[in-house]
Structure 1
Amino acid sequence: MTPLPDLPDLPDLPFPRTEVALNTVRYVRGISAPAIFNHAVRAYFFGRFLGGQKGLRPDEDYDDELLFLGCVLHDVGLTEEGDGDQTFDLDGADLAARHLTAQGVPADRVEVVWDAVALHLTGAIALRKRPEVALMAAGTGYDIRPHGPALPAGYADRVHAALPRLGGAAALHDAIVRQALAKPHKAPVFTLPGELVRQRTGQVWPTWRELVDAEPSWGDYGPPAG
C-alpha cells in the first residue's frame, strides 16, 4: 500500500492512491499552509463518512478519486500560487483545473473537480449536485462545524491524530481576510469573503437600492433625490 506523502499511513481510513491523487497531495502540501492542507484532507474523510451514512458506496455510487481530488484541492485559491483576481473559490477552481489538466486528467473529470471547488461555498446548491460535488461540500462543512450524524467512536480521534486541526477554522478565516484586504475586489458584498471582511473592518454594506442607484444606473427607482 503506497503511503500518502508527508502523512502517516491510515490503514483503517482508506483513500485513493492513484498517481494523480498522490501527485496532487504533494502539490497541495507544497503550496498550502499546514492548517489549511490538513483541513482539505480531513474534508475527504468526513465527506466519505457522510456519504456512507446515505448508503453511498465509493467507486460504485460515486468516483472516490474525484471526491478526494476535489477535497484536497478545494482551498488552493487561498495559496500564494492560487491568489488571482476572483473570489478564492473561483481562483481555486481554475488552479485545480490547470493542475489536473497538466497531469493528463481528461476534461470531463477535470470539470467535476472544477465544479466541486467552485461550488463548495454555495451550501444547498452544491448539496444538490452529483455525489462527488455534494460530498465534498458536506465534508468541508463538517470539518468546520460537525453538524449532522455523529461519527463512529474513535473516528475523529484517528483523523485528527493524522491530520491535526492546528486551528483550522481560524487559519481559513485569516487567509480569506488577508487576501481580501489586499485585493478588495476579491470580497464582493453579500459573499462569504465580503462578510468576513465586513466583520473585521466594521465597514457598512450598501443597501439594495444604493447598489441599484449607483452610477451608472438605469433609474429603476427614479431620479436621485435632491
Structure 2
Amino acid sequence: MDYDPLPFPRTDLALSAMRHARDIEPPAIFNHSMRSYLYGRFLGEEQGRRPDVDYDDELLFLGCVLHDAGLGDQGDSEHPFDIDGADHAARFLTDQGIADERVEIVWDAIALHLHPDIALRKRPEIALVSAGSGFDLGPHGGHTLPTGYADRIHAVLPRLHAAAALYDTIVGQALAKPHKAPPFTMPGELLRQHTGQDWPTWRQLMTQPPSWGDYDGYQPRT
C-alpha cells in the first residue's frame, strides 16, 4: 500500500513498527491504528501542538500503530487487550534496542488509551493516542476536519467496518478467556452486551468468599 499521500513518520523504527502491526493485526484493526495517528496528530494541531516541537512524533506514531497489538494473535495473552498490547509493544520496542524511558511512554500510551479521563492529563504522546484512537471510532468533541481530509485518509486506509471488527475481536477474545474481560471494564461491558449476563453488584463482589466480612452485621445509615 502506498502511504505517501499521508504524513506518517518515515524513520526506520516507525516503518518497522508499521510492518509489524500489519503482520499481526487483521486489516480493519491495522487501518484503524494507522488512522488513529493521523487523527491524533490533527487533534494535537487543533491544540497548537506541533510535531517534533511540542511532542515526539515518532513516539506518538508508535503508540498509535501498536495500540491494538493485543488484538492480534501474537499479542493475545492473559490480560485485557489494552494491557496485552502494551506488553507486546514494549517487548517489540525493547528488541529494537529502544531506550527504556521511550518504551515506557509507549507502554503508558497503549495501556491508558481506553481511559481518556487519565490519558488526557498525561504528556501529549500519551494523550493523543487516546484522543486519536477514540476520534477514529466516533468524530466527537466539536472538532471539524478540513474539507476532504477524512476522504483522503479513507481512500488510503479504508474503514473495513472498523468498529464492528473491533467489537467482534474483543468479544471473541473474552469468550475464549473470560478473565480478559473483568466486570466494569470496556472489554467486560462488551462481553456483557454480547452474552446478556448480569454483572455482580458491589455487595456480591465484596461478600463472595473469601471476604473480610465487611457486610456482616452492617447496618446502613438511614
Alignment partners' CA distance in 2, 1:214 and 1:114: 33
Partner of 2:192: 198
Partner of 1:181: 175
Cα offset, 1:10, TM superposition: 3.0
Unaligned runs of 5+ in 2: none
Deviant stretches of 4+, over 4 Å: none
Are 1:163 and 2:157 an aligned pair? yes
Are 1:30 and 2:23 an aligned pair? yes
Partner of 2:134: 141
Partner of 2:108: 115
Alignment partners' CA distance in 2, 1:74 and 1:208: 31
TM-score normalised by the chain length of structure 1: 0.94
Cα offset, 1:9, TM superposition: 3.0
Are 1:211 and 2:200 an aligned pair? no
Alignment partners' CA distance in 2, 1:218 and 1:140: 40
Write the deviation string for residues 66-123 of structure 1: whole angstroms up to 9, x where unpaired: 0000000000000110110000000000000000011111111000000000000012
Alignment partners' CA distance in 1, 2:136 and 2:96: 28
Amino acid at match of 1:170: A
Alignment partners' CA distance in 1, 2:133 and 2:127: 10
RMSD (CA atoms):
1.0
The aligned length equals 217
- My pick for the range that moved more, 34-43 or 146-155, is 146-155
Amino acid at match of 2:200: P
Partner of 1:129: 122
Alignment partners' CA distance in 2, 1:144 and 1:114: 21
Unaligned runs of 5+ in 1: 1-6
Partner of 1:16: 9
2:70 to 70, 74, 77: 77
SS in 1 for 2:29: helix
Alignment partners' CA distance in 1, 2:88 and 2:211: 35
Alignment partners' CA distance in 1, 2:57 and 2:23: 23
SS in 2 for 1:110: helix
Cα offset, 1:223, TM superposition: 5.8
SS in 2 for 1:81: coil
Partner of 2:93: 100
Amino acid at match of 1:88: F
TM-score normalised by the chain length of structure 2: 0.96
Alignment partners' CA distance in 1, 2:81 and 2:146: 33
Alignment partners' CA distance in 1, 2:39 and 2:109: 15
